[in-house]
């Protein structure tokens, strides 16, 4: 009998089964439930009241306000006030405007190897960076988890993605994911993705978060990376207690993967996705020359962590944003903003002419500052460029890594960052 994959091991543990197999439907006990201000208390408080039910375990619930922060209108302000009240009444942990949910969970060590987690957000697979199995659901299912502490899962097949060699200068996890979206398409719902290989082993937790985060764009159930020394060091730094055997969660050597893909990481050039889909990705070398950029946006869980700000700074150091182009930067957490300020990264960005925006999901979700008008063209470090997502349905949004977005801001048109890093 072949061994089990990491995903199968976590699902077996969470469902109390000795072994699970793809296609099997299992009921899993939830170790952590995350919700945010958009899909959280605003949408579940009334449902819980209607059911006359209490939160099954307040210790296992984390609320993060990130979508409507800081409030830009009365609707948003009321949603945020309701979120604060509900979190206080229920006695659950609430991070209020200090970062984007997936990044906050990682910063504070909430998601740990082997855990089974549920998030009320489609980019919840981000939790897989810590070697956990974390799935996104809608607000009604969040209500179900709040009441029962359980959720049903159809065990997915495991797609193993091996990233061979090291990524080159100016190439990042974002480029790997854009490449995979073009190569594998966005309908991989039968799969959980396990990322491995030399390039992945060399990546920081922030970069692994990008790989898992964009499993959502592959349409996969979730994504994960087996824990290693990098994972354990990050957990130690976060300061939350974790199990002694946390590093032992991995696919068996003789595990059977239902599908395998190899990415030649060393040869991968920077990628850009054309409007209006991450699957419209190709090498930046193939991008049309004359596309003028009105707005360059470095933001979101996918693209504005400290590692992303450093990538942008590497390109922007000693340079200026092109006339007629605006560069907006919304850091993914306030702790990362503080760190970027302390180390000088922030000054490099603002001296180049970047406009600093509040921490939050912001324009990525068409909700904060930085919305686009009809006819405008944007290049963003975010995960999605669906039509109308960042404002007008008549706007054009390209996607790239923070390196590529910064390089494009300097040139005022889509640019290859490698020429700035030589």
Partner 1 sequence: MILRGRCHVFGDQVDTDALAPGPYMRKPLPELASHCLEAVDPRFAREVQRGDIVVAGRGFGIGSSREQAVQALLHLGVAAVVATSFARIFYRNALNLGLPALACPALVVRAGDELEVRPQQGEIENLSQGTRFACEPIPAPLLAVVAAGGLMPWLEARLAARRGA
Positions that interact with partner 1 (CB under 8 A):
25, 38-39, 43, 47, 50-53, 68, 73, 75-76, 79, 120-122, 124, 136-141, 143-144, 147-148, 152, 154, 186-187, 189, 219, 221, 277, 279, 365-367, 371, 384, 386-391, 393
Closest approach of partner 1 to the CB of residue 366, in Å: 3
Nearer to partner 1, 43 or 411 (CB): 43
Q: Supply the DSSP string of 111-170, one letter for each residue.
A: S-TT-EEEESSTTGGGGGGGT-EEEE--HHHHHHHHHHSEEEEEPPEEEEEEEESPPPTT
Nearer to partner 1, 305 or 389 (CB): 389
Closest approach of partner 1 to the CB of residue 225, in Å: 20
Nearer to partner 1, 34 or 298 (CB): 34
Closest approach of partner 1 to the CB of residue 90, in Å: 17
Nearer to partner 1, 367 or 415 (CB): 367
Closest approach of partner 1 to the CB of residue 53, in Å: 6
Residue 159 in contact with residue 257, Cβ under 8 Å?
A: yes
Closest approach of partner 1 to the CB of residue 279, in Å: 8
Q: Distance (Å, rounded) from C-alpha 35 to C-alpha 30?
A: 13
Closest approach of partner 1 to the CB of residue 410, in Å: 28
Here the contacts of 86-93 (C-beta below 8 Å, separation 24 or greater) are 86/40, 86/41, 86/45, 87/41, 87/63, 90/55, 90/58, 90/61, 91/58, 92/55, 92/58, 92/61, 92/62, 92/63, 93/61, 93/62, 93/63
Q: Distance (Å, rounded) from C-alpha 311 to C-alpha 77?
A: 33
Nearer to partner 1, 128 or 144 (CB): 144
Nearer to partner 1, 79 or 380 (CB): 79
Q: Distance (Å, rounded) from C-alpha 262 to C-alpha 184?
A: 12
């Amino acid at each position: 009998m072949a061994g089990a994959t990491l995903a199968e091991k976590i699902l077996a543990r969470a469902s109390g089964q000795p072994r699970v197999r793809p296609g099997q439907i299992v009921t899993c006990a939830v170790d952590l439930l995350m919700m945010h201000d958009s899909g959280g208390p605003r949408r579940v408080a009334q449902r819980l009241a209607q059911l006359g039910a209490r939160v099954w375990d307040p210790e296992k619930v984390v609320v993060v306000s990130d979508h409507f922060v800081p409030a830009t209108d009365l609707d948003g302000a009321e949603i945020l006030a309701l979120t604060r009240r509900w979190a206080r009444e229920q006695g659950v942990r609430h991070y209020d405007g200090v970062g984007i949910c997936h990044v906050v969970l990682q910063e504070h060590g909430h998601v740990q190897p082997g855990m089974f987690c549920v998030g009320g957000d489609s980019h919840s697979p981000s939790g897989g960076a810590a070697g956990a199995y974390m799935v996104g659901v809608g607000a009604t299912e969040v209500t179900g988890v709040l009441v029962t502490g359980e959720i049903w899962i159809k065990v997915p097949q495991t797609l193993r993605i091996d990233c061979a060699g090291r990524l080159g200068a100016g190439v990042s996890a974002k480029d790997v994911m854009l490449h995979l979206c073009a190569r594998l398409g966005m309908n991989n719902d039968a799969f959980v993705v396990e990322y491995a290989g030399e390039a992945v082993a060399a990546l920081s937790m922030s970069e692994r978060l990008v790989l898992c985060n964009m499993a959502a764009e592959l349409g996969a159930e979730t994504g994960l990376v087996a824990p290693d020394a990098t994972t354990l060091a990050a957990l130690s730094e976060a300061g939350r207690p974790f199990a002694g055997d946390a590093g032992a969660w991995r696919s068996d050597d003789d595990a059977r993967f239902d599908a395998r893909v190899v990415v030649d990481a060393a040869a991968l050039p920077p990628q850009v996705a054309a409007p209006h889909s991450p699957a419209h990705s190709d090498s930046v070398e193939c991008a049309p020359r004359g596309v003028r950029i009105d707005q360059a946006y470095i933001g979101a869980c996918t693209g504005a962590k400290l590692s992303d700000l450093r990538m942008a700074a590497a390109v922007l150091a000693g340079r200026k944003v092109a006339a007629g182009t605006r560069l907006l930067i919304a850091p993914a957490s306030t702790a990362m903003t503080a760190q970027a300020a302390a180390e000088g990264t922030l000054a490099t960005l603002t001296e180049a002419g970047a406009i600093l925006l509040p921490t939050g999901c912001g324009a990525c979700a068409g909700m904060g500052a930085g919305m686009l008008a009809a006819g405008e063209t944007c290049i963003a470090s975010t995960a999605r460029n669906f039509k109308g997502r960042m404002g007008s349905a008549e706007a054009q949004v390209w996607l790239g890594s923070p390196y590529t977005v910064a390089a494009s801001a300097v040139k005022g048109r889509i640019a290859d960052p490698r020429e700035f890093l030589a």
